[in-house]
Amino acid sequence: MRIEINTERLLARIEALGRIGALPGGGCKRLALSAEDAAGRALVTGWFCDLELDVHTDVIGNCWAIRSGHKDLPPLVMGSHIDTVATGGLYDGVLGVLGGLEVIESVIDAVIETEHPLAVAFFTNEEGARFAPDMMGSGVSQGALDLEEMLAKVGIDGVSVADALDGIGARGREPVSALAPCAYLELHIEQGPVLEAEGTEIGVVTGVQGISWTEFAIAGRSAHAGTTPMALRQDAGAVAAGIAIEARAIARDFGSPQVATVGRMRFAPDIVNVVPEEAVLTVDLRHTDDAVLQAAETRLFDTAEALASDEGCTITRRSLARFEPVSFDPDLVGQIAEGAKRLGLSHRRMPSGAGHDAQMFAPNCPAAMIFVPSKDGISHNIHEYTAPHDLANGVRLLAEVALARAGVVKPEGQTA
Ligand code: GLV
Ligand code: MN
Ligand code: MN
C-alpha cells in the first residue's frame, strides 16, 4: 500500500530539532546526554505524545514510541539517533528518527491499521563523541554491550554515563532488551560521496564495516626545547606523531576500503618550548573484512610499541570500541531494493562506512538500512546537507517497506 508523506512537516521538524544546539554558521552540537540532547529529547518525545503514541524509555535512555497494531505482535521499529558530534549537521541520525515519525503520522493520517505495531526509536549516544563506544544505547538494548559497564564509562569531560543520564533525567524504567522488534529499519544519509557522484537516488545498504577505536597514552620526559640534544629526548609527542603517520601508511598500504583516522591528539604540558611529557591520541580503523581489520590493528600496535621503545617512552593502549563487520538481512535488503523499484527510484547496493544502530539489531532480528545522498559526500560537518526531494524519497521508501513488513489490515472504518 502506498501512502502520501508530508514533506513540509518532515522538513519543519528537522529544522526545529536543528535549532537545538545550533552552531554559528550552521550545523548542531548535541552531544549525548548534554543539556542540548535533553532539549532535543523533549522536543521529539513531545511530538510522540502529540500523536498519542505509547512512549517508553529504558535504563540507558533509549526512547521509543509505539502505534499499536491490529494484533499483539512485536513492533516494526524505525529508528536512529538524535545526538550529534560536536560539529554535526542537521540530518545524521535525525532523518531516521523524524523519517520514522513521519511514516507513523502519515499512516495515522491515512487511517491505516497495520498487523504489527509500528514504532519509532532514538538511541542514546550513537555517536560516541562524548562517551566511547559509539552505538552505546542500541548496543546495550540488543545485548552487545553490558549495561553496568556502559553506565560506568567516563566521557571526555570526566562525567560518567550514569551521572549524565540522571543529570538530564533520561534514565527510564524499561529493562535492557525491552525493545524486541519483528524487524528494524533505519533511514540515514549516506555520509559519503557515492550516491551523489553516480546520480543514484537510493543506497540499499548491505552491511556495516568493522570498527576499531584505540586510545594510546605515551609517557616520556618534559625537557627544554632549546638545550636538550635530540638523542637525549624522550619525546611523547614525537611518538604520537609517528603513530599518526603509521595509521595513514596502513590505510595506504592495505588499500581501499581500509581507512584510518587520528581524530584526537593532545600533549602535556602543551607548551611551545617544552618537549611533551605526555601524549594521548586515538586511532579509528575500519574495514569490511574483519581479518584485514585485525591485521591492520596488529601492525599499528606493533609499530606503536617500537616507536615508543626507540624514544625511551612507555606506552599503554586501551580499546574504546570494537565492532565486527555486520551483514544485513538479505530478505529485508531485497525488500528495500524491490520497494525502490516499485517507487521508480534509482538504487544500488552498498556497504556503510559509518557505524549505525541498525548493526546492533542485526544479530537479533531482520535489520537493514536505506541511504539517501549527501551533498558533496560530507557529514560530521556543519555543512552536511541532503536535498528535500532526497529526504522525501527516503521516507517514501521507508514507508513502503515498513508497511509491507508490518502488514496492512484494511483502512479503518471500511468493511473488508
Ligand atoms: C558513527 O557515526 C561512526 O561511524 O563513527
Ligand atoms: Mn548517524
Ligand atoms: Mn554520526
Q: Write the pLDDT tens digit of every residue in 298-323.
A: 999 999 999 999 999 999 999 999 99
222 pLDDT band (50/70/90 cuts)? very high
Q: Is the pLDDT of residue 375 over 60?
A: yes
Architecture of the domain defined by 210-323: 2-Layer Sandwich (3.30)
Q: Residue 24: CB partners within 8 Å, gap ≥ 6?
A: none
- At residue 1, the pLDDT reads 76
> Can you tell me whether residue 71 is helix, strand or coil?
coil
Q: Residue 372: CB partners within 8 Å, gap ≥ 6?
A: 95, 187, 188, 189, 190, 195, 201, 202, 203, 386, 390, 391, 393, 394
Left if phi > 0, otherwise alpha if psi is -120 to 50, otherwise beta: which for 376? Answer: left
- At residue 217, the pLDDT reads 98
Beta carbons within 10 angstroms of residue 49's beta carbon = 12
Grid coordinates in use for 5?
508523506
What are the domain boundaries of the chain?
Answer: 7-208+326-409, 210-323
Q: Is the pLDDT of residue 414 over 90?
A: no
- At residue 415, the pLDDT reads 43
CA of 191 to the centre of ligand 3 (A): 8
The mean pLDDT of 215-240, rounded to a whole number, is 98
CATH of domain 7-208+326-409: 3.40.630.10
The mean pLDDT of 38-59, rounded to a whole number, is 98
Grid coordinates in use for 111?
487511517
CA distance 351 to 204: 8
Q: Is 249 exposed, middle or buried (0-12, 13-18, 19+ CB in 10 A)?
A: middle
1-5, 23-27, 87-91, 232-236: lowest mean pLDDT where? 1-5
Grid coordinates in use for 328?
544485513
Ligand nearest the Cα of residue 92 is 2
CA distance 214 to 321: 7
- At residue 416, the pLDDT reads 41
Specify the ligand 1 atom closest to the Cα of 93. 2
Q: How do residues 324-367 score in pLDDT, each as one tens digit? A: 999 999 999 999 999 999 999 999 999 999 999 999 999 999 99
Tell me which residues have their CB closer than 6 angstroms to ligand 1.
127, 134, 354-355
Q: How do residues 57-95 score in pLDDT, each as one tens digit? A: 999 999 999 999 998 999 999 999 999 999 999 999 999
CA of 246 to the centre of ligand 3 (A): 25
Ligand nearest the Cα of residue 95 is 2
- List the one residue out of 104, 124, 122, 123 whose CA is nearest residue 114: 104
